[in-house]
Structure 1
Amino acid sequence: MRLYHLQTMVGENLLRYLRVKGYTKTALSKMTGISRPTINQILEGKSPNPKKYEEQLGKITEALDLPNDYFEEFSGIQEEKWQLPSTQDSDRSTISNKSPLTQELLNDLDELLTVAAFYVKG
């Protein structure tokens, strides 16, 4: 349950790792079998259940072939400007009254921008 108490930091480190390594949240969801909304909760540090959180984090580190405590202290690769989140509002918004279509479009836009960032790096 140690990581549950550090979930804000773990979420930030996981998001940084995903962006640096080029993984999308949708890809992580498919790799782990964890739903996209739950992935968002993990990244935001807002998982309500400690036991479930630890289990889901285990699935994530296993899928990425990393040690269980990797995101506790991840300092990893430095992000370049092109790797910084560009649609942060779509993932970190506290407004929960978005229509499902709006949320889906924002998620798709975030995925497209993540992919496009790799081409901008050149």
Structure 2
Amino acid sequence: MDKNTIEILFSERKKVGLNLFEIMKEQGYTKISFSNRVKISRPTLNHLFEGEISSITTFEKYLDRIRDVLQVQEQEFLIGRRTAIGELQVAFSCNEPKGYHPGEREKEMFEILEDLINLCDFYY
């Protein structure tokens, strides 16, 4: 990758991270399967997705590995890829009436729901 291209990608690393994540999903990878395929740890991969890699050299090294696996050109990391549906956002709350104290079953159900949301975040 030439110096000018990597500098542009690095300056737009948050956008690159979002698009990288979308390309990864389009090609059928989960975070875990992609991490294994490109030989980048999940935490580091998450830093790439969030645009939080602070070293341009490290950024370039990982981006080269990813490009080789995904078979995409550098420019594709700058092209927005959001679907018409957009991002899935989840919210849940325990909005019980004043003075209500949830029973053990209700507490357990909210813990399960929270675990499911965290599990989805972990895998996707």
Letter of the structure 2 residue corresponding to residue 51 of structure 1: T
From 50, 53, 57, the counterpart of 1:51: 57
Q: CA contact under 8 A between 1:29 and 1:35: conserved in structure 2? A: yes
Determine whether 1:25 maps to 2:10: no
Return the index of the structure with the highest Cα Rg: 2
Choose 15-24 or 33-42, whichever is displaced more.
15-24
Greater per-residue helix proportion = 1
SS in 1 for 2:74: coil
| Matching residue of 2:40 | 34
Tell me, yes or no, if structure 1 residue 64 matches structure 2 residue 70. Answer: yes
Partner of 2:101: none
d(CA) in 2 for partners of 1:107, 1:26: 16
* Residue number among 6, 18, 27 corresponding to 1:12 in the alignment: 18
> Once the two structures are aligned, what percentage of the paired residues are identical?
27
Instruction: Tell me the TM-score normalised to structure 1 length.
Output: 0.62
| Regions of 4+ moved over 4 Å | 105-108, 111-114
Q: Secondary structure at the match of 1:69?
A: helix
Deviation track 1:43-97 (CA, whole Å, cap 9, x = no partner) reads: 0000011111011011111101111332112437x2546xx4457xxxxxxxxxx
CA-CA distance at 1:17 after TM superposition: 2.1
Query: TM (normalized to structure 2)?
Result: 0.61
Contiguous gaps of at least 5 residues in structure 1: 88-104, 115-122
RMSD across aligned positions (CA): 2.9
Match of 1:110 in 2: 120
